[in-house]
Structure 1
Amino acid sequence: MTNATTQNPTHHHAPRMLLHEVAPEVQKAMLSLERAARKGLETSLIELVKIRASQLNHCAFCLDMHTKDARRLGETEERIYLLNAWHEAAGFYTEKEQAALALTEAVTLLPSGVSDEVYERAAKHFPQEELAQLIAMIVTINAWNRIGVTTGLAPGAYSA
């Protein structure tokens, strides 16, 4: 029988790598992508998307960062806490936010695919240009999550 720490060890050590120091051009490109993906999207929606993708990807560093950023921007504790169960707590999120969260889950959990239903639901709430930005934002946070998890970035160091 294995316990939770054997299956998912937590990192109580320094990060494996600080990508921004080892590969500064990659960091620069990621930051450029981040800036480009944000254009035209509501800041509150961006943070919800980043938190939800980070939950799905188990990126503690990004969860710490984006929940702090969301709070700083005025997001309520209740909406942050319920985000992991937004389907059951749909009344706390607008139709547009729900469409963005559904798309976030579909893009993040890509092996299950992005169904026409999920895509059309998002397209109903986002004009084509804004939908393109949302897709780019989801792709961007997934890349950041993969960097954070792979390099062993630990939560707690980020301050908003």
Structure 2
Amino acid sequence: MTTSSNRRVKTAKLTPEFYQAMIKLDAVSATGLDEGLAHLVRVRASQINGCSYCVDMHSLDAVHLNENPQRLYLLPVWREARNLFSEREQAALELTEAMTVLSVGHVSDEVYEIAAKAFEDQELAQLIALITTINAWNRIGVSNRLEPGHYTPS
């Protein structure tokens, strides 16, 4: 039996130490990675997780950084639009999907090797940190039903 609840806690307000730690984690998770690539990864994970707030936020941030909106429109079908994404971006998106959809099993050796060839060890570690962090943010956004449409890039 499914029950509906309009009551959603405000994580930022009720657990400020946790929320501030997430903000710090977010700030360091993408260190050394291209900002545009980081936003593509954040948008893709957020699409998979159904976090409309994060899709909105990171799409706006990407456009603010001069990302081509067409690439964002095609992000859910990036494999069919490979010509618009670099090899590094494709490797990052592949790893993002593998780490985000864990119900399919572990990150395969094949996916990991593609990412390892596209990124230096430090960058790959940062990419893994970034994917982990956006997935955590998505869980907060989805659980609290954060609504899109209120974010403005700074």
Give TM-score, length-normalised by structure 1: 0.90
Structure 1 residue ranges (4+ consecutive) displaced by more than 4 angstroms after TM superposition: none
1:142 partnered with 2:135: yes
* 2: CA distance, partners of 1:106 / 1:32: 25
SS in 2 for 1:89: helix
1:125 shift after superposition: 0.8
1:19 shift after superposition: 1.1
Match for 1:122 among 112, 115, 120?
115
Q: Which residue of 1 aligns with 2:102?
A: 110
1:110 shift after superposition: 1.3
SS in 1 for 2:74: helix
Letter in structure 1 aligned against 2:54: C
Q: Which residue of 2 aligns with 1:97?
A: 89
**In percent, how many aligned pairs have the same letter?**
52
1:35 shift after superposition: 1.3
Match for 2:72 among 64, 71, 80?
80
* 2: CA distance, partners of 1:17 / 1:144: 15
Alpha-carbon RMSD across the aligned residues, in angstroms, is 1.7
* 2: CA distance, partners of 1:27 / 1:107: 23
* 1: CA distance, partners of 2:144 / 2:135: 14
Q: CA contact under 8 A between 1:17 and 1:152: conserved in structure 2?
A: no
Match for 1:158 among 144, 151, 154?
151
Q: Which residue of 2 aligns with 1:71?
A: 63
Match for 2:54 among 32, 50, 62?
62
Q: CA contact under 8 A between 1:107 and 1:114: conserved in structure 2?
A: yes
1:73 shift after superposition: 0.5
SS in 1 for 2:148: coil
Q: CA contact under 8 A between 1:47 and 1:70: conserved in structure 2?
A: yes
Instruction: Mark the runs of 5 or more structure 1 residues left unpaired by the alignment.
Output: 1-8
Deviation by residue 1:88-133 (Cα, 9 ceiling, x = unmatched)? 0000000000000000000000122200000000000111111000
Letter in structure 1 aligned against 2:128: I
Q: Which residue of 1 aligns with 2:32?
A: 40
Give TM-score, length-normalised by structure 2: 0.93
* 2: CA distance, partners of 1:33 / 1:146: 15
